[in-house]
Every structure is written in structure tokens, then in C-alpha cells.
């Protein structure tokens, strides 16, 4: 199984926070099959906005959300 990583970012309410100003404007850079390619994409995106302290990019480890060995994955447990 590939260890999928999501790279995304956008404008934050405060530079040190993680709350986005407008979730409709989140920049989804993409989903990558390994950390190295995700890190490269993250670095490219982050460098485009280096002068904007309120814009930040993140790498989410999607593979950690899925545990195939369990009957229900964490995402299944989060459903309403």
C-alpha cells in the first residue's frame, strides 16, 4: 500500500494558527504516493508564498487515517 500524503494550504487567521480564513479558498496541491514527493510539492507551494506570513502549507499523512487491519477505519468511526 502506498503511503499517501495530501499537500494543501491557504490563508490562516493568525500566522501561528491552523484556522483558515476561507475554507472555500484552500489550495489543494495534490495527493502524493510518498513523503519525498509530497515534501517537494509542499516546498514549491510554500516558496511561492514566502512573503505572506498568513499563508501556510501543510502535509497531511493520509495513510495514517486508514488502518486496513481494523474492521472499521478511523474515517468510518467519524461518520455521523
- pLDDT of 41-69, one tens digit each? 999 999 999 999 999 999 999 888 776 66
pTM over 0.85: no
Q: Is residue 47 assigned to a domain?
A: yes
69: its cell numbers? 487491519
Q: Is residue 71 assigned to a domain?
A: no
In this prediction, residue 65 carries a pLDDT of 79
Q: Which helix (H) or strand (E) holds 40?
A: helix 35-48
Q: Is residue 74 assigned to a domain?
A: no
Q: Is residue 73 assigned to a domain?
A: no
- N- to C-terminal Cα separation, the chain: 28
Q: Is residue 42 assigned to a domain?
A: yes
CA 78 to chain centre: 18
| Mean per-residue pLDDT of the chain | 86
Q: Is residue 78 assigned to a domain?
A: no
CATH of the domain at 23: 3.30.70.2400
Which of the four pLDDT bands, split at 50, 70 and 90, describes residue 19? very high
Q: How many CB atoms lie within 10 A of CB 30?
A: 12
Q: Is residue 46 assigned to a domain?
A: yes
**Domain around 9:** 5-66
Amino acid at each position: 500500500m502506498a503511503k499517501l500524503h495530501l499537500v494543501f494550504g491557504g490563508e490562516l487567521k493568525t500566522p501561528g494558527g491552523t484556522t483558515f480564513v476561507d475554507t472555500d479558498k484552500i489550495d489543494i496541491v495534490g495527493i502524493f504516493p510518498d513523503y519525498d514527493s509530497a515534501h517537494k510539492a509542499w516546498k514549491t507551494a510554500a516558496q511561492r508564498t514566502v512573503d505572506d506570513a498568513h499563508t501556510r502549507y501543510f502535509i497531511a499523512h493520509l495513510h495514517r487515517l486508514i488502518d486496513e487491519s481494523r474492521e472499521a477505519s478511523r474515517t468510518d468511526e467519524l461518520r455521523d
